[in-house]
């Protein structure tokens, strides 16, 4: 497939991914990563070097907005690499960035407290004809333990921190990509999903130290609460079999955590 941008004809090919909204554009020695209808937040992330550099944005005839980012030769982090200190440090940089928080809140009203997330989840589960017993039991747990999660310091959360969204360039730059689910919420939304998915329990303290905090009973409860909430929400969505199985496993890891 070919398309024309700024007077140049580019060869366009799908870039993979679950949404089908990402493409690779090439013209002679130029190569870009294109995405249809990315969040306007992408520009702020580019400035902060959280994602590969944003080169241009263009609205096309059908109203879609196309963004072009610098193409980087890279590899996707493995599950084992998620245990590294660099992942923890970059996530902490994102969560502690007042610049990113101010930019995201300008774009849309996307604050989500624990109570708001639970209300949204209950509506999604109630709308399902085939809600499982596990979902119902999870809702009950979240309702009973909500007070432990109500106090929220809102930060920029990515919302889908699985290893497929972390890349390292040939220049050894670490990026976190695919920000369509960004929101302002408790940092435990992201941190819990990494810990329960990738980090052995005996490694939590070290990973959290690299992130810049310590594991306390209150934090542990919060990590469990938000991870259960987020994974059950994922299980209500129309997603790939792989993503569904991943959410089920993380949910089981969290719900079976009997330390808190």
Is 260 a domain residue? no
Same domain, 39 and 92: no
Number of domains the chain is built from = 2
Picking from 50, 92, 85, 89, the residue whose alpha carbon sits closest to that of residue 199 is 85
160 assigned to active site: yes
Mean pLDDT of 33-45: 88
Smallest CA-to-CA distance from 67 within 83, 53, 56 is with 56
pLDDT at 19 over 60: no
Q: Which domain holds residue 63?
A: 2-71
Of 71, 94, 124, which residue is a domain's last? 71
| CA atoms lying within 13 Å on the CB side of residue 113 | 10
Co-location of 95 and 216 in the same domain: yes
More confident residue, 141 or 62: 141
Distance set, CA 61 to CA 3, 13, 192 (Å): 12, 20, 42
Residue 207 lies in a domain: yes
* Residue among 3, 64, 160, 258 flagged as catalytic: 160
Question: 114 with 208, same domain?
Answer: yes
Give the tens place of pLDDT for each residue, 70-84: 999 999 999 999 999
For 181-227, the pLDDT digits (tens) are 999 999 999 999 999 999 999 999 999 999 999 999 999 999 999 99
Q: What is the CATH number of the domain that holds 52?
A: 3.30.200
Nearest to 163 by CA among 143, 177, 150, 151: 177
């Amino acid at each position: 497939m070919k398309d024309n941008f700024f007077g140049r004809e580019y060869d366009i090919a799908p870039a993979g991914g679950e949404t089908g909204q990402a493409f690779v554009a090439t013209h002679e020695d130029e190569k870009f990563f294109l995405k249809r209808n990315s969040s306007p937040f992408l520009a702020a992330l580019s400035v902060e070097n959280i994602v590969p550099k944003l080169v241009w944005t263009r609205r096309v005839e059908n109203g879609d907005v196309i963004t072009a980012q610098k193409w980087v030769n890279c590899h996707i982090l493995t599950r084992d690499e998620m245990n590294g200190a660099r992942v923890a440090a970059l996530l902490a940089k994102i969560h502690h960035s007042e610049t990113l928080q101010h930019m995201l809140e300008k774009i849309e009203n996307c604050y989500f407290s624990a109570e708001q997330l639970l209300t949204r989840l209950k509506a999604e589960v109630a709308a399902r004809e085939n809600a499982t017993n596990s979902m119902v039991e999870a809702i009950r747990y979240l309702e009973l333990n909500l007070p432990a999660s109500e106090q929220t310091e809102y930060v920029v959360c990515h919302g889908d921190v699985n290893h497929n969204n972390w890349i390292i360039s040939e220049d050894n730059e670490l990026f976190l990509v695919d920000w369509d689910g960004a929101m302002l919420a408790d940092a435990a939304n992201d941190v819990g999903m990494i810990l329960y998915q990738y980090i052995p329990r005996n490694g939590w303290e070290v990973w959290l130290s690299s992130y810049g905090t310590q594991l306390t009973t209150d934090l542990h409860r919060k990590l469990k609460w938000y991870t259960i909430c987020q994974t059950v929400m994922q299980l209500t969505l129309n997603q790939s079999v792989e993503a569904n199985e991943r959410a089920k496993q993380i949910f089981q890891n969290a719900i079976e955590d009997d330390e808190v």
